[in-house]
Amino acid sequence: MRQCLTTFDKRPAERLDYWQDVVCKKYVAASAATDLDNEDFSASLTSRELGPLTVSELDAPLHFWSRKASHVRNDGQEVFIVSLIRSGGGELTQRGRSVRLSEGDLTIYDSSAPFDYALQASTQLIKIPKPLLESKLGDARDILACKIERGDPLSAILGDLLTRSLTLELSEESGAVAAKRLSGAIVDLVAAVYDLKRETKSSSAPLEKVMRYARAHLDSEDLAPERLAAAGAISVRTLNRLFGGLGTTPMRWVWAQRLEASRVSLAQGQVASVTEAAFAHGFSELAHFSRSFKKAFGVNPHEMLKR
């Protein structure tokens, strides 16, 4: 169900406090401030829950968000927030990095670390559970407070998908399943945006390229060392040496990634059945998947699905 909240119908003295309360409830705890008079602070937030995601459109005059270490400790949120500027602009600072944003730019920030976000914009927001996106991208610290610039074709598609997601009418019978599928498509598209960003970095190391390729192809049954080596433009011998430095082998690492990604998909409600979780992550035998899952996590996948 779509929810629309606005300060327009609030008394001027209450507007900023109301706004802070509204956005913090939907996203993460932070303090809000503005240089405007309260009566000039007219803002709105339209949002809906979509499976494990919250997708929104926020429209507000200049104001300043600050998430301090105390906020991080007190609310314990573990999410990434993607911000795609539709008009206006902002400046985000996190982990010693600052980025200026304008129309069409996209960035991402992490609730588990303090941030400051000065915003005067209409922006689309996505709140994504950290394990869900990390299962697609691995360690995301290198992409925090980095700008995907206007003109990126995938972020433009993402913006259109978010707009449609907010207006889409779903029936009670099929709504839950459709929401899961749609949220999965959104997360995959966000991952694709940042995969492409990483791929264009000339300094990307062979091991990083291999891991990125593997995470994008976990559903492939023939994800063999030869394919991994080709993805990193290295020999199989070098591939084995690189993974040996991590205390593992290429295929042991791949199977661990498949298990973790399947666990996240079950825990976050991204799949409707254990069979779907298994086949979506490269397992061809359900019995093998169940045994491996129980050994890795101490519970069988059906129990994880029921949670």
**C-beta of residue 129 within 8 angstroms of C-beta of residue 78:** yes
For residue 170, pLDDT over 90 is answered with no
pLDDT score of 168: 85
8 Å CB contact between 293 and 300: yes
Q: Dig out the tokens for 238 from the structure.
A: 């070098």
For the stretch 105-116, pLDDT in tens is 999 999 999 999
pLDDT of the residue at 204: 63
- Burial class, 98, CB count within 10 angstroms (exposed 0-12 / middle 13-18 / buried 19+): exposed
pLDDT at residue 221, as a whole number: 80
Domain boundaries, the chain: 3-197, 206-306
The superfamily in CATH containing domain 3-197 is Jelly Rolls (2.60.120.10)
Q: pLDDT tens digits for 203-241? A: 568 898 899 899 989 988 888 999 999 988 999 999 999
Three-state secondary structure call for residue 288: helix
pLDDT grade, residue 57 (50/70/90)? very high
Q: What pLDDT was estimated at residue 37? A: 79
Q: How many Å apart are CA 72 and CA 95, to the nearest integer? A: 14
Question: Mean pLDDT over residues 125-148, rounded?
Answer: 93
pLDDT > 90? residue 61: yes
Across the range 26-47, mean pLDDT stands at 88
Q: Find the Cα–Cα–Cα–Cα dihedral 14, 16, 20, 26, rounded to 10°.
A: 80
Position 270 scores a pLDDT of: 83
Asked whether residue 45 carries a pLDDT value surpassing 80, the answer given is yes
3-197 and 206-306 share one fold: no
pTM: 0.83
Which of left, alpha, beta for 94 (phi over 0: left; psi -120 to 50: alpha)? beta
CB-based burial label for 222 (10 Å; 0-12, 13-18, 19+): exposed
Q: Name the class of domain 206-306.
A: mainly alpha
Q: Please report, rounded to a whole number, the percentage of residues in the chain having pLDDT higher than 70.
A: 97
Instruction: Determine the Cα–Cα distance for residues 268 and 262; give it in Å rounded to an integer.
Output: 10
CA 297, 298, 304 angle in degrees (round to 5)? 70
Mean pLDDT of the chain: 90
Which of 10-28 are b and which e, b meaning 16 or more Cβ less than 10 Å from the residue's Cβ?
A: beeeebbebbbebbbebbb
pLDDT value at residue 222: 82
Cα separation, 229 vs 237, whole angstroms: 9
Look at residue 173 in the predicted model and tell me its pLDDT. 65
- H helix runs in the chain, sequence order: 15-26, 69-75, 130-137, 153-167, 175-199, 206-216, 225-231, 236-244, 250-267, 274-279, 286-297, 301-306
Least confident segment among 132-136, 171-175, 251-255: 171-175
DSSP string of 147-177, one letter each residue: -B-TT-HHHHHHHHHHHHHHH----TTTHHH
Buried b (16+ CB within 10 A) or exposed e, 287-301: eebbebbeeebeeeb
Give the pLDDT band of residue 202 (cuts 50, 70, 90).
Answer: low
Per-residue model confidence (pLDDT) at position 39? 72
pLDDT higher than threshold 70 for residue 174: no
The confidence band for 97, taking pLDDT boundaries of 50, 70 and 90, is very high
Beta bridge partners of 64: 33, 118
Residue from 94, 177, 188 nearest 133 by CA: 188
